[in-house]
Structure formats: C-alpha cells, structure tokens
C-alpha cells in the first residue's frame, strides 16, 4: 500500500522567510496530493492540492510542486507570517484506492 | 467547518468502559471517515464508509467498530476502552474521492 514520508518534523523560520516541507510517496499510481493545515486546537483544513497531471500550483503565498519521477511533492510558503504557524500534513491518494494516506506532519513555527 | 459536527468534544472514561463517538454532517457527502491523531504519527484511518451499506476497515481498526446509521451519521465505538486509545479523534466527509472536510475533533482520555 501507499506510504507517505514527510520532512522535516519541525521547522522554525524567521518571519518573512520562506518555508519548504517535502513529502515522498511510494505508490507511483497515486494521483492526488492535498496539503492540510492544522492550527493549535483546530481541525485540519485543506490549503492547497495538486493532481498528477500538473507540475505546480500556486495560491497567493502558497505553492505546491510535484515531481512524479522522483515521487515527491513539496509545499512552499513564501513571506511567512506568524499566522502560518501550525502543523502541516501532506497526503497522497492512489489511483485505484479511495483513501488518503497522510504524512506524520510538520510543526512550522514562524518567529517574529 | 460547521457542516461536520462531532459529539462529545471531550470525554474522559475508564478502562473497560464502552464509549461511542458520533459524527453528523449536513454537506450531503456520501463518504465518511474516522481518523485518530497522535503526536508525531499524523492522521491514521480507523474506518471509512462510502455509503450506508458500505463499511471498510482502515489501517488501525482493531479495538474499534463503526455504524453508519444514515448518510449523514457515522458513529465510532470503543467496545472496551484501554489507555492507549487516548487520542484526538476526527471524523471527515467527502463527496466521492475529492477533498475531505474534517469535524472539530473529540479528545478522548482513557484512564
């Protein structure tokens, strides 16, 4: 089955700097890759997603890139702000599966 | 997302007790899921259901059972709670295999 690894487990950046979180997946048939943000005490919420027919997707300060050959995808946050501090989860869904498989999460701290 | 609700939000129980966590949604989604969240382990799937007559085990179903009473309701039961089931539990819904929307979570403590 699908296995998703996420790195780093914690990341501290200075306000205004960029943050990058990387995930690797094992099932080459996976075709959908969402990213969720979970603020302290809150529920995970989708912030951006990408499908396997696209290499990059942007939404304001957030972007996701996908490298199907290497089987990895990354979340890029530019001009980080204190409100970006949260736990971020990546996930992958195999083409023939119906479930999301989540990474272990990255704690992002933005220092002001 | 206020369209997915969970009850109770917090629960403290004792080892050996039976407990039920409930999830309701008004989004009209066909698929519902139960996840468990532990620090450093991410979100792990316990059970999922694609419609009222469809129930499937996830990666960590041992010690849990579920019931899909209606399209909008999906309950998770711990038949005999044990301390290592102390965790944060999330219900989620989706329309087909698309985006999953999470409920607010239930924090369960088993003493």
Q: Residues, chain A, total?
A: 112
Q: Cα separation of A18 and B41, whole Å?
A: 25
Residue B15 forms beta bridges with which residues? none
Cβ distance B97 to A45 less than 8 Å, yes or no, reads: no
Confidence (pLDDT) at B91: 98
Q: Cα separation of A38 and A22, whole Å?
A: 17
Cβ distance B42 to A43 less than 8 Å, yes or no, reads: no
Query: How far away is chain B from the Cα of A51, in angstroms, using its nearest Cα?
Result: 11
Q: Which residue has the tokens 């989620």?
A: B92
Mark out chain B residues that contact chain A at CB-CB < 8 A. 1, 31, 33, 40-45, 48, 50, 58, 90, 97, 99-105
Band of the pLDDT at B72, cuts 50, 70, 90?
very high
Q: Which pLDDT tens digit goes with each residue over B12-53?
A: 999 999 999 999 999 999 999 999 999 877 899 999 999 999
Q: Cα separation of B33 and A89, whole Å?
A: 17
From the list B97, B101, B104, the residue facing A98 with the nearest CB is B97
Q: Which pLDDT tens digit goes with each residue over A21-71?
A: 999 999 998 999 999 999 999 999 999 999 988 899 999 999 999 999 999
From the list A6, A43, A98, the residue facing B102 with the nearest CB is A43
């Amino acid at each position: 089955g699908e296995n998703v690894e996420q790195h780093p487990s914690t990341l501290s950046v200075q306000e205004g700097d960029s943050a990058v979180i990387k995930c690797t997946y094992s099932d080459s048939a996976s075709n959908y890759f969402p990213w969720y943000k979970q603020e302290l005490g809150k529920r995970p919420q989708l912030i951006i997603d990408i499908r396997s027919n696209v290499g990059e997707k942007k939404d304001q300060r957030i972007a996701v890139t996908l490298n199907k050959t290497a089987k990895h995808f990354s979340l890029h946050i530019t001009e980080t702000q204190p409100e970006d501090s949260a736990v971020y989860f990546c996930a992958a869904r195999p083409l023939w599966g119906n479930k999301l498989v989540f990474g272990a999460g990255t704690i992002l701290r933005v220092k002001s | 997302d206020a369209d997915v609700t969970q009850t109770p939000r917090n629960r403290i129980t004792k080892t050996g007790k039976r407990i039920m966590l409930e999830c309701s949604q008004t989004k009209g989604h066909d698929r519902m899921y139960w996840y468990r969240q532990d620090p450093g382990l991410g979100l792990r799937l316990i059970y999922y259901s694609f419609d009222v007559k469809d129930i499937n085990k996830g990666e960590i179903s041992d010690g849990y059972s579920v019931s899909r009473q209606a399209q909008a309701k999906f309950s998770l039961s711990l038949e005999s709670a044990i301390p290592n089931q102390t965790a944060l539990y999330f219900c989620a819904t989706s329309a087909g295999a698309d985006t999953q929307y999470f409920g607010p979570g239930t924090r369960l403590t088993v003493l």
